[in-house]
Amino acid sequence: MTASPSVSRRRFLAWSAAASAAAVAACVPTTVLPSEGRPPTSATPVTAPVPSGSAAPNRKPAPIPTPSTAPSPSPAAGRRRTLYRDGALADGRSDRLRLGVSILVEDGVIRWIRPADDEGPTGRGAQLRVIDASGSTLVPGLVDAHSHLTMPGGARWIDRGFDPPERLVEVAEANAVLLGRAGVRWARDVGAPRGRDPVDGRERALSLGLRDRWRGIPGYPMIRAAGTWITRRGSLPAGLTVEVGSGDALRRAALGQLEDGADLVKLYLDGPDTDHAPWSVAEVRRVVEAVHARGARVTAHASRLSGARVGAEAGVDALEHGFELDADVAQTMAEKGVALVSTLAVFRSWLTFGRTTRLPRFATEDGRRAIRERQEAAEAAIRIANRAGVAIAAGTDFGGGSTRANQLAWEVEALVEAGLEPWQALGAATWRGGELLGEAEAGVIHEGGPADFSLVHGDPTSDPTALWRVWHVAWLD
Ligand SMILES: [Zn+2]
């Protein structure tokens, strides 16, 4: 038996309010990063983005925590009203797929979310554009929690990091388009080559100038960027990273990235010797304390168990990759609130290269076997972390790995294959990433929030491949 329209509407509004409250409560106030102004709504479609050419704001080293503010539409944009009618809705917080949902958007802001059979007044009809959402699912704008905007990916992804700055900035512009079309609203950049920015002339991580220039421009993804990777000398090819040789130098380099304008700091805890972490727990802890004191967060690349253990014990905010975790490390992560950012799709990408390249690492039987073994260990690590209650956010590692900017759906699929429920994997690609960023509006849909959602075909609460089938992106509308 179906509830009467008024009852279903009351229930629906109660659910919306609860979802909003949960989204806001989930934000961690002590480490919230500065909020970013909402880009004004525009009918302009995303074409090849054009840098503004204006000087980048001079970001100070100590960001002052402020909560994200409600979007404020530009008065010049005029009233633009769109009703998305009668879709399903999946928010990644439970396995419930809500049917018969309508969302009214005004000037880029969600005015209300109501049952399609009880929408109530929609205001002046003449200016209302109605999009028939029937048969599709409304999902929050995705959050790619591990990305490298300035790099293209592919089978020679590390070589591409040595391309000239002009080329890397061009790649980032193309990646911005790919992200939007794939329904990705936010990207957390966890490492960019350092160089002279061809637009603002500053010598720093190339991601930082892009983040500053894109801020507030319709159609661009929202970016939080870690600056350049900080490595122990000998861990990666020379010239790609900020290389240091002592614990004191590590701390200075971390603070140097913040002075350059980085939103967070990225340490590399794979060392030249894979069995040993490149830094002690005490050395990493000093960095964490210094960075936290400035209101920013620290994350750590840890593809090996040795580095993951040090990072977890030192209390970094997140471990990236975590391809080798054991129950003890996962327990420490859960106790200290260390998130895990998964990048399992990289292995899937490498396995495709077994048929499409002649590079021995991918094409030989030994190479493929080694990839499969690492993949199995990484999937086991996801299960261990999930059982321990570690928060898991999803990343593609596009650019810094072989994947591409429009492949976050691949990571969601991989997480489900590793053992997460489809709704958990959707949560990893939406609000979990938002929590990791400290951004209350990232990865959530709620009344009064930005119209950051897309429409996909299929039910992501039972079928993760639905996220490949994006047909409409509300913030690009
Ligand atoms: Zn990466």
Euclidean distance between CA atoms 426 and 461, whole angstroms: 8
pLDDT at 355: 95
pLDDT at 12: 38
288 alpha carbon to ligand 1 midpoint, in Å? 20
Of residues 445 and 8, more confidence is placed in 445
Tokens for 417, please give them: 């294959």
92 alpha carbon to ligand 1 midpoint, in Å? 24
8 Å CB contact between 186 and 412: no
27 alpha carbon to ligand 1 midpoint, in Å? 24
pLDDT at 225: 98
79 alpha carbon to ligand 1 midpoint, in Å? 41
pLDDT at 434: 98
The strand pairing partners of 82, in sequence order, are 105, 129
Euclidean distance between CA atoms 345 and 343, whole angstroms: 6
191 alpha carbon to ligand 1 midpoint, in Å? 7
**Range scoring the smallest mean pLDDT among 57-66, 115-124, 368-377, 452-461:** 57-66
pLDDT at 122: 85
Place of tokens 């960075």: 291
The strand pairing partners of 457, in sequence order, are 136
Reduced to 3 states, what is the DSSP secondary structure of residue 257? helix
Euclidean distance between CA atoms 330 and 383, whole angstroms: 10
For residue 295, pLDDT over 90 is answered with: yes
293 alpha carbon to ligand 1 midpoint, in Å? 25
pLDDT band at 78; cut points 50, 70, 90:
low
Which one, of 244, 125, 146, lies nearest residue 191 by Cα?
146
pLDDT band at 70; cut points 50, 70, 90:
very low
pLDDT digits (tens, 9 = 90+) for 16-37: 333 333 332 222 222 222 233 3
Strands 98-106 and 81-89: antiparallel
328 alpha carbon to ligand 1 midpoint, in Å? 24
301 alpha carbon to ligand 1 midpoint, in Å? 8
343 alpha carbon to ligand 1 midpoint, in Å? 8
370 alpha carbon to ligand 1 midpoint, in Å? 20
For residue 222, pLDDT over 50 is answered with: yes
26 alpha carbon to ligand 1 midpoint, in Å? 26
357 alpha carbon to ligand 1 midpoint, in Å? 22
81 alpha carbon to ligand 1 midpoint, in Å? 39
Tokens for 210, please give them: 């892009």
2 alpha carbon to ligand 1 midpoint, in Å? 49
Q: List phi, psi (to 5°) of 215.
A: -55, 125
pLDDT digits (tens, 9 = 90+) for 128-161: 999 999 999 999 999 999 999 999 999 999 999 9
229 alpha carbon to ligand 1 midpoint, in Å? 9
pLDDT at 287: 98
For residue 15, pLDDT over 60 is answered with: no
pTM above the 0.75 mark? yes
Euclidean distance between CA atoms 269 and 167, whole angstroms: 29
397 alpha carbon to ligand 1 midpoint, in Å? 5
pLDDT band at 455; cut points 50, 70, 90:
very high
Residue partners of 129: CB distance under 8 A and separation at least 6: 80, 81, 82, 83
pLDDT digits (tens, 9 = 90+) for 376-392: 999 999 999 999 999 99
174 alpha carbon to ligand 1 midpoint, in Å? 18
Stretch 187-211: mean pLDDT: 97
Euclidean distance between CA atoms 435 and 125, whole angstroms: 38
Domains and CATH numbers, the chain: 5-36+73-140+444-476 (2.30.40.10), 142-437 (3.20.20.140)
Helix (H) or strand (E) holding 332: helix 327-336
300 alpha carbon to ligand 1 midpoint, in Å? 10
396 alpha carbon to ligand 1 midpoint, in Å? 8
Of residues 76 and 435, more confidence is placed in 435
Which of 30-44, 48-62, 305-319 has the highest average model confidence (pLDDT)? 305-319
pLDDT band at 65; cut points 50, 70, 90:
very low
pLDDT at 232: 94
Percent of the residues in the chain that have a pLDDT greater than 70, as a whole number: 83
**Range scoring the smallest mean pLDDT among 74-88, 295-309, 412-426:** 74-88
Average pLDDT, rounded, for the chain: 86
Q: List phi, psi (to 5°) of 114.
A: -140, 165
341 alpha carbon to ligand 1 midpoint, in Å? 10
138 alpha carbon to ligand 1 midpoint, in Å? 29
For residue 86, pLDDT over 70 is answered with: yes
pLDDT at 123: 76
What's the DSSP call for residue 69?
A: P
pLDDT band at 361; cut points 50, 70, 90:
very high
CA separation, residue 281 to residues 285, 286, 299, 335, 445 (Å): 6, 9, 14, 16, 39
167 alpha carbon to ligand 1 midpoint, in Å? 19
pLDDT at 239: 86
66 alpha carbon to ligand 1 midpoint, in Å? 28
Tokens for 15, please give them: 């659910």
CA separation, residue 102 to residues 86, 186, 210, 453, 459 (Å): 5, 24, 35, 13, 17
147 alpha carbon to ligand 1 midpoint, in Å? 6
39 alpha carbon to ligand 1 midpoint, in Å? 27
266 alpha carbon to ligand 1 midpoint, in Å? 10
Percent of the residues in the chain that have a pLDDT greater than 90, as a whole number: 80
pLDDT at 125: 54
Residue partners of 322: CB distance under 8 A and separation at least 6: 302, 303, 308, 340, 341, 342, 378, 381, 382, 385
Helix (H) or strand (E) holding 388: helix 365-388
Euclidean distance between CA atoms 258 and 263, whole angstroms: 7
Write out the DSSP string of 276-316. Answer: S-SS-HHHHHHHHHHHHHTT-EEEEEE-SHHHHHHHHHHT-
Of residues 80 and 443, more confidence is placed in 443
